[in-house]
Structure 1
Amino acid sequence: MVEAPLPATHPLYGWTSAAPPSVPERFSKDPSRPLFSIVIPTLNQGPYIEDTLLSILWQGYDNVEIIVVDGGSTDATPAVLERYRPWIRVLISEPDRGQSDAINKGFRRASGSVLAWLNSDDFYLPGAFHSVLACFAADPSGRWVIGSGDIISADQQFLRHVPAREGSEQTLLAIENDCFLLQQSCFWSASLWQEAGGVDEGLSLLMDYDLWWRFSQRCSGLVTQEKLGAMRYYATVKTRRQGERFPSELATIYARYGASEPLERLVQRLLKEKSALGERLQALERQLPVRLLRRLRLLPRP
């Protein structure tokens, strides 16, 4: 008998204070019901990954396989994974080439018909799997479910709600207006993933956005305003640490899918920002000694 893992030591955002559903002894593979394959890429997310795992276990749906791809964590992550090992079908622990590589590596081991990945500092909300199944049941031709969700702080304070939007070109082109699909609330069919070819391992920030473009060329998605996932946003989250990569990756994706007008606007905006930065540095140069500027690495050395 496998001992059930303890509940989280703190209330989990979106979940009631009542005791969570009991965790099944083993995940089953009932051919009469869709199998969810959830890939969790992780690296040094010890404070959060237990919440990620519990949000899957608490769904009350036992036809699930959890696939964790750990890039070589040196914090508490391995200890947490060992504690939950009986519920993790595949655990890959080895160096990788980044999150996109880890995601593709995980899905190569997936055998489910419904796929998703969940970052190891994020988690699902109650009823997410049942809402996804209801969407697919309502439209058997559907291949991609897009739900709504919340963005929260590291200590689980509400920051904003992200409504579900159709996975269309019009929606995707509105990304610079802060209009986006919440990756933590997206699920898709295994066949759609295979046709799309996985995520682009050359992208480290907008790999999901690039994937949505390829999905949108094949289907528009089934939209539900049910809240499916929660995304943590905090000072050291990757989207902030690597924020400077956003414009270049966005330009790459615009060019890839023939979005010439937004690409031109993006390039013009970046040129204006670069020009404005140059003017500020010139003004600073007139006010401060050149030697100090070079020491601060604001001017190149001769």
Structure 2
Amino acid sequence: MAELPLPATRPLYGWSAEAPPSLPARFSSDPRRPLFSIVIPTLNQGAFIEDTLLSILWQGYDNVEVIVVDGGSTDDTPAVLERYRPWISVLISEPDRGQSEAINKGFRRATGSILAWLNSDDLYLPGAFRTVLEAFAAQPGGRWVIGSGDIISADQQFLRHVPAREGSAQTLLAIENDCFLLQQSCFWSSSLWQEAGGQVDESLSLLMDYDLWWRFSQRCTGIVTQEKLGAMRYYATVKTRRQGERFPAELATIYARYGASASLDRLVQRLLAEKSALGERLSTLERQLPVRLLRRLRLLPRP
């Protein structure tokens, strides 16, 4: 099978544009080695999903199960998926109720011992799979690898680095201080996934990963490595920004669910204060606007 070259006009963040790795002829399914099951939920990400797939294919590890769940894309996504079909173990293309349901559909088809999902505009970085395998091998009882990673722009410019942190309740409660686990750099065992419920919460649109980390943290704190495993794209139309108003409500739900009463109280008080401040600003604006308009129309003398 012919190798697919990296598009020269779109170099892949973190990878060498001069000598990109060759693609495996096909993925194997060798029961003697750990099998990665990577779920890719997607919808109309034709501009990015080829990069996502290449970042998996270039890992240099061929015992991989790629599961793509397309919610019914109408852009170039189906054409890209068809091009890479030989390396896609499972392709589900049908309408869904959002990203969380797509993730669950994918994991229901997963057979690997190491699991992760990668959004179709994000990337794995060079050596990610090797680092994960080494981390699990170094700690045979380990069930969750947490790496560091980068946040990049749509055109793959570096924005910020996200260090790895342990998966403890204390770490998770620091989310309001912009401390979080980078989902693109987390991998876990299939046994941990099943013990933690075997699904993400489909009522959550933004923080389904954060809710999952809470369930994982009740069973282990993870193997932390500062090696960079993944990169997350952040841009104007990314879901995190488009649906940002849902963040406080979902965070409050998770705080309540896991007994973080003090954090929930602080969040509620902060939101009430913000609402009160907004109400006062609107009230002030309402009082000022008519006066300003009258003066602009010269129906009221200037002071």
TM-score of the pair, normalised by structure 2:
0.94
Q: Take 2:18 and 2:193, find their aligned partners in 1: how far apart are those partners?
A: 36
Aligned residues: 290
- For residue 238 of structure 2, what is the aligned residue in structure 1? 237
Contact 1:70 1:94 in 2 (8 A): yes
* Percent of aligned pairs sharing the same letter: 85
- For residue 299 of structure 1, what is the aligned residue in structure 2? none
1:69 aligns to 2:73 (yes or no) = no
Q: Take 2:43 and 2:60, find their aligned partners in 1: how far apart are those partners?
A: 27
Q: Take 1:17 and 1:73, find their aligned partners in 2: how far apart are those partners?
A: 29
1:255-283 Cα shifts (integer Å, max 9, x gaps): 00000001000000000010011111111
Q: Take 1:225 and 1:282, find their aligned partners in 2: how far apart are those partners?
A: 49
- For residue 192 of structure 1, what is the aligned residue in structure 2? 192
Deviation at 1:285, TM superposition (A): 1.3
1:256 aligns to 2:228 (yes or no) = no
Q: Take 2:57 and 2:19, find their aligned partners in 1: how far apart are those partners?
A: 13
Root-mean-square deviation (CA), in Å? 1.2
1:7-30 Cα shifts (integer Å, max 9, x gaps): 233211111233222212121011
Deviation at 1:110, TM superposition (A): 0.4
1:8 aligns to 2:7 (yes or no) = yes
Q: Take 1:35 and 1:57, find their aligned partners in 2: how far apart are those partners?
A: 14
Query: Where do 5+ consecutive residues of structure 1 fail to align?
Result: 293-302
Task: Report the AA paired with residue 6 of structure 2.
Answer: P
- For residue 226 of structure 1, what is the aligned residue in structure 2? 227
TM-score of the pair, normalised by structure 1:
0.94
Contact 1:5 1:83 in 2 (8 A): no
- For residue 270 of structure 1, what is the aligned residue in structure 2? 271
1:118-171 Cα shifts (integer Å, max 9, x gaps): 000000000000000000000010000000000011111111000000000000
Task: Report the AA paired with residue 5 of structure 1.
Answer: L
1:87-140 Cα shifts (integer Å, max 9, x gaps): 101000000010000000000000000000000000000000000000000001
Deviation at 1:5, TM superposition (A): 2.2
| CA 6–16 in structure 1, closer or farther in 2 if over 3 Å, else same | closer
Q: Take 1:88 and 1:289, find their aligned partners in 2: how far apart are those partners?
A: 62
1:153-172 matches, within 5 Å, as 153-172=153-172
1:172-183 matches, within 5 Å, as 172-183=172-183
- For residue 107 of structure 1, what is the aligned residue in structure 2? 107
1:131 aligns to 2:149 (yes or no) = no
Q: Take 2:200 and 2:3, find their aligned partners in 1: how far apart are those partners?
A: 34
Contact 1:37 1:114 in 2 (8 A): yes
Task: Report the AA paired with residue 162 of structure 1.
Answer: V
- For residue 49 of structure 2, what is the aligned residue in structure 1? 49
Deviation at 1:289, TM superposition (A): 4.7
Query: Where do 5+ consecutive residues of structure 2 fail to align?
Result: 294-303
- For residue 92 of structure 1, what is the aligned residue in structure 2? 92
User: Any runs of at least 4 consecutive aligned residues in structure 1 with deviations exceeding 4 A, and if so which?
Assistant: none
- For residue 247 of structure 2, what is the aligned residue in structure 1? 246
